[in-house]
Structure 1
Amino acid sequence: MATRFVLIQPSHAGNVGAAARALKVMGFDDLVLVQPRWEDVLALDETIERASGAVDVLRKARAVDTLEEALDGVTHVMGTVMTPRDFGPPTFTPREHLAAIAPAGHHVAFLFGSERYGMRNDDVYRCHAALRIPVAPDYGSLNLAAAIQVIAYEWRQALGGFDLPPPAPPVAADAAAVAGMLKHWEQALVEIGFLDPAAPKKLMPRLNQLFNRAQPTPEEIHILRGVAKSMAEAARKAKP
C-alpha cells in the first residue's frame, strides 16, 4: 500500500538519517521533509551516517516548501500527537486505527512535527486521525526517530508483517560419531565405577537410544566427549 512519512520542519540531521533507517527496516521508502532546517540535510554527513545503510531512502527522499506539496496524492492523513486537540480529529492508538484502515487501500501519510514544537494545531486539523503512542504516563517524550520506528512497525504489522524464514534445523552428528562418543563414555563410566564391565546389563544400549533420540550435533558430541575425558581423568587422580 502506498505509504508516505512526512517530517514537518525537522531540525536535526541525525533524526532525518535515523528516520530513513527506520523506514527501510520496515520496507517503506517514501520520505518527505517539509521546510527542513538545513536545505542540504539529505546530503549531510551526519544524516548519511545515522541512516546506517539506508542511503537509497535518502536519495529518493525530497524536501518541499509546503505541507500541501507533501500530501499530494494522499487519501488518508494521520498525525502523531502527545495530547488530543480540541476540535481536532479523533485520537486513536496506532494499533487500533491502523488495523481498521489497512484493508481500505488508502494512500496514507504519517505526519511528524518538529523536534522542538511537535505538530501545530493547523497541521493536526488537516488530518483524518491523530495517533497517540501509548507511553508511560510520567514520561511521554519520544525521540522523533523512535516514534517513526514505532509507527512504521505498527503499520507494517497491520499490513500483514514480514514472514520470517524458518530456522535451519540443526545438523545431527553421524552414526559413527555417536558410536565413538558412546565408546568413550563407556570407558569413563567404568573408570568412575558407575559401569561394571562384567555385568553391564542394558546401560549402554539405553544410552545409545537416548542419544539417538536427542540427535546431538557434532559440537555437542565434542562436548560430551570432553565430559567423558574429564570424568576419567578425575577418577584416575582420585585412585590411591
Structure 2
Amino acid sequence: MTTRFVLIGTSHAGNVGATARAMKVMGFDDLVLVAPRWDDVLARQEAIDRASGATEVLAKARIVATLDEAVEGVDVLCATAMTPRDFGPPTSTPREHLPTLVGRRVAFLFGSERYGMRNEDVYRCHVALTIPTAADYGSLNLAAAVQLVAYEWRLALGGFDVKPSAPPVVAADAKAVSGMLAHWEEALVAIRFLDPAAPKKLMPRLHQMFNRAQPTPEEIHILRGVAKAMLEAAKKGTP
C-alpha cells in the first residue's frame, strides 16, 4: 500500500526536514518534492538539522519537476487546502474521510508555505482535507499540517499493529487519469466541442467526474481509444 506525502513548491529547507521527522514518527517514508525552491534542499544543513534523526526519509526522498511525476502509482489525491474553493472536490476533515481510504494508494498534497495549493492542483484531487482550527486563527505551519494528517492517517490504518486489507479493485493511478484527460481535451477541441479560447470549467469537471468513477487501467485504455477515434474522425472531416 502506498502512502505518499507531496510538497509542492516548498521554499524553506527547514520545513522539508521537519516534514521528514513528522512522517517518520508515524511510520511513513515516501516523500516527494515538486519543484522546490532549492535543487539541493534535501542536502541543506537546515533540512538535516530539522529532520532530527529522520535523515533516511530525506535520503529516500525524490525531487521531481511536475505533479504528474509525483503522483505516479497513486489512486487517491488528497489536497490540504484550508481556504474553501467555490469549485472543486468535496471538503472533509481527516478524521471523517481518511477511514474511507484504507487499502487505497494515497497521496497527501501540501502547497507552498506562502500561497498554499493552486486551484488547478486542488481541482485534480478527490478530496480537500481541512483541519479544524480556531475561527480567528487558522494558520498552520507546513510541518505541523503534515504531522496532523500523518497522525490521522495512522489512526485510520489502525495504529502500528493492524495491517489494512488489500483493495479488491486496483484503480488507474492519477497520472494515467491525467494523461487520458489530456488526450480527451485534444479530441474535444478537434471536434469543436471544447473552445480552447473559452474552456470554462469543462476539463476540471471531467477530472472530478473521472476521479469519482475511479476507472481501472483497462477502462483508461478504452477511453483513450474513444479519444483516438474522435481525432481520426475530425481529421477526415466526418461528424
Q: Does TM, normalized by the shorter one, top 0.5?
A: yes
1:114 maps to which of 112, 115, 128: 112
Task: Give the equivalent residue in structure 2 for 1:195.
Answer: none
Aligned-pair distance for 1:162?
2.7
Q: Give the equivalent residue in structure 2 for 1:84.
A: 84
Q: What does residue range 135-146 of structure 1 map to in structure 2 within 5 Å?
A: 135-146=133-144
Secondary structure of the corresponding residue to residue 28 of structure 2? coil
Q: Secondary structure at the match of 1:142?
A: coil
* Structure 1 stretches of 4+ moved >6 Å: none
Structural RMSD (CA): 0.7
Q: Deviations over 1:61-102 (max 9, x none)?
A: 010000000000110000001122122000000000001221
Deviation digits for residues 88-135 of structure 1 (CA, Å, limit 9, x no counterpart) = 000000000001221xx2110000000010000000001000000000
TM-score norm. by structure 2 comes to 0.66
SS of residue matched to 2:5: strand
Q: Aligned residue for 1:127?
A: 125
**Partner Cα distance (1:84, 1:30) in 2:** 28
Q: Which amino acid aligns with 1:119?
A: M
Matches within 5 A, 1:145-160: 145-160=143-158
For the residues of structure 2 that align with 1:84 and 1:131, how far apart are their CA atoms?
Answer: 10
**Distance in structure 1 (CA, Å) of the matches to 2:63 and 2:9:** 10
Relative to the length of structure 1, the TM-score reads 0.66
Partner in structure 2 of residue 39 of structure 1: 39
Between the aligned partners of 1:59 and 1:162, the Cα distance in structure 2 is: 23
The residue aligned with 1:52 is 52
In 2, the alpha carbon distance for the partners of 1:83 and 1:57 equals: 29
Deviation per CA, 1:16-45: give whole Å up to 9, x if none: 000000000000000000000000000000
* Paired residues for 1:1-240 under 5 Å: 1-102=1-102, 105-162=103-160
Aligned mates of 1:57, 1:82 — CA distance in 2: 26
**Percentage of pairs with the same residue:** 75
Q: Which has more radius of gyration? A: 1
Give aligned pairs, total. 161
For structure 1, the residue ranges without an aligned partner over 5 or more in a row are 164-240
Aligned-partner residue type, residue 95 of structure 2: R
